[in-house]
Amino acid sequence: MNDRVLVVGAGFAGSVVARELADHGHKVLVIDKREHLAGNAYDCHDEKGVLVHRYGPHIFHTNSERIVRWLSRFTAWRFYEHRVLAEVDSVLYPIPVNRQTINSLYGLNLSEEEAQQFLEKVRIDKPVIQTSEDVVLASVGADMCDKFFRGYTRKQWGLELAQLSAGVASRIPVRTNSDDRYFTDTYQFMPLEGYTRMFERILAHPNITTSFGVSFADIEDKDAFKHIVYTGTVDEYYDYCYGKLPYRSLAFEHQHFEQAKPFQPVGTVNYPNTHEYTRITEFKHLTGQDCAGTSVVYEYPQAQGEPYYPIPRAENEALYKQYKQRAEQETRVSFVGRLAQYRYYNMDQVVATALKTAEHLCEVLK
Ligand code: FAD
Ligand code: UDP
């Protein structure tokens, strides 16, 4: 019997568990089928020297002081509050919808109180909120739903708002003040030297060995490990025995422009009704990097490809439950993270669930 723990996946889920176990004296082998650590949060310098996020823009935000404290052991931070505009009929509007969005869309000059009254008039009463369509109609009404949400959602998920759980659209608040920040969490920053550097420090521990370009399937003697922490897709782990869990994928198109001026006025511009891509993100806004040119990423949603998003809807949840029940019976395997728990988690939520798992494992693996 090997005295090591095997961690499958070097993203937030796997790396946080690995570090906690290592700090508590356990020997850990971390593998990832990709050639690098940090999972989807991986960043690197492109050929023009601009720090870019290979798998789309990652902005750290949380209300949890504990999580900030934990991560701050491995990185300093750059204060950054993300802003997003949506292009509708060639005009840019703040997203989430706020007072300014309403005023410029309808040529009004409403105060905060008047904006509230405006929303009261246009919103559609929904006694039960079940789907994302219910959420949007009940908050901003039919017109803004069509302008900002329907098309974007159709592109992003390949589904109608009404086919998605309420939780998807609930991620986006509606405001009647002029706050144009995308997130309002207490802590909003970017790792000062990037996510990859932060992960290198998380995994730099004498009890941790890493091996990249290695898939779980490549591990021959799985029984040799005293425990397995699995952060890949849970349906794949069980050989799709109950059927395939749907995941949404994306294709990322990275481009560089040799210009000193910004490509766009804010970090991200959303395109709800035009183009095949959903949004363009310009990295300089996020990182504050001072360089000659500028690099951006376009996101094209795809049905096939790397599994980036669990798709939150009732029938998928029911299928996941079958896997979850089986997973809960395992004593030698823990399932953690966005893919293994089939949850639309943000990074801070993954850190939270990973810390909880690690705490439990430190108890049972003593
Ligand atoms: P992952 O990062 O996916 O890591 C899992 C790792 O396991 C991967 O590296 C994978 O290669 C490896 N793996 C899988 N299967 C196997 C196997 N069989 N063998 C070996 N290795 C395997 N969150 C935020 O908080 N803010 C944001 O702004 C934000 N933006 C996002 C933008 C995009 C486009 C996407 C897709 C996600 C975004 N997120 C954001 C969510 C964030 O990426 C996740 O919450 C977080 O990265 C999940 O960490 P994880 O470890 O669970 O999964
Ligand atoms: N959304 C939308 N229009 C927008 C922004 C978001 O319709 O301009 C909807 C869409 O369904 C999206 C969801 O709200 O998938 C959540 O958006 P968020 O920005 O949180 O998604 P992320 O890219 O972070 O997963």
* CATH at 18: 3.40.50.720
The predicted-structure confidence for 41-94, as pLDDT tens digits, reads as follows: 999 999 999 999 999 999 999 999 999 999 999 999 999 999 999 999 999 999
Ligand 1 site residues, Cβ closer than 6 angstroms:
8-14, 31-34, 39-41, 55-59, 215-216, 231-232, 250, 308, 337-339, 345-348, 350
Give the helix/strand (H/E) hosting 121. Answer: helix 112-122
Q: How far is the CA of 11 from the centre of ligand 1 (A)?
A: 6
Which amino acid appears at position 264 of this protein?
Answer: Q
Distant-in-sequence, close-in-space partners of 133: CB < 8 Å, separation ≥ 6 = 145, 160, 161, 162, 164, 169
Q: Which of 126, 153, 170 is the last residue of a domain?
A: 170
Give the ligand whose atoms come closest to the C-alpha of residue 87.
Answer: 2
Q: Is residue 342 part of a domain?
A: yes
Q: Is residue 334 part of a domain?
A: yes
Which amino acid appears at position 44 of this protein?
Answer: C
Q: Is residue 298 part of a domain?
A: no
Q: Is 115 in the same domain as 160? A: yes
Q: Is residue 238 part of a domain?
A: yes
Q: Is residue 133 part of a domain?
A: yes
Q: Is residue 255 part of a domain?
A: no
Q: How far is the CA of 303 from the centre of ligand 1 (A)?
A: 17
Q: Looking at residue 160, what DSSP letter applies? A: -
- pLDDT value for 2: 66
Q: Give the residue numbers spanning the domain of 332.
A: 5-37+203-245+311-364
Ligand 2 atom showing the smallest separation from residue 346 Cα: 24
Cα 203 to Cα 196: distance, rounded to the nearest angstrom: 11
Q: Please state the φ and ψ torsions of residue 256, each to the nearest 5 degrees.
A: -125, 140
Q: How far is the CA of 226 from the centre of ligand 1 (A)?
A: 25
Q: Is 223 in the same domain as 88? A: no
The predicted-structure confidence for 292-318, as pLDDT tens digits, reads as follows: 999 999 999 999 999 999 999 999 999
Using CA atoms, how far residue 346 sits from 48, 159, 198, in Å, is 29, 21, 17
Q: Is 159 in the same domain as 226? A: no
Cα 44 to Cα 34: distance, rounded to the nearest angstrom: 14
Distant-in-sequence, close-in-space partners of 220: CB < 8 Å, separation ≥ 6 = none
- pLDDT value for 3: 86
Q: Is 207 in the same domain as 165? A: no
Q: How far is the CA of 348 from the centre of ligand 1 (A)?
A: 12
Cα 51 to Cα 44: distance, rounded to the nearest angstrom: 5
Q: Is residue 288 part of a domain?
A: no
Tokens of 233: 């897709």
Ligand 2 site residues, Cβ closer than 6 angstroms:
86, 95, 148-149, 152-153, 156, 168-169, 171-172, 270, 272
Ligand 1 atom showing the smallest separation from residue 32 Cα: 21
Q: Is residue 254 part of a domain?
A: no
Q: Is 360 in the same domain as 212? A: yes
Identify the segments of the chain with pLDDT beneath 70.
1-2
Q: Is 349 in the same domain as 222? A: yes
Test site for ligand 2: of 172, 249, 297, most ligand atoms within 8 A of the Cβ: 172
Q: Is 158 in the same domain as 212? A: no
Q: Structurally, how many domains does the chain consist of?
A: 2
- pLDDT value for 117: 98
Q: How far is the CA of 14 from the centre of ligand 2 (A)?
A: 26
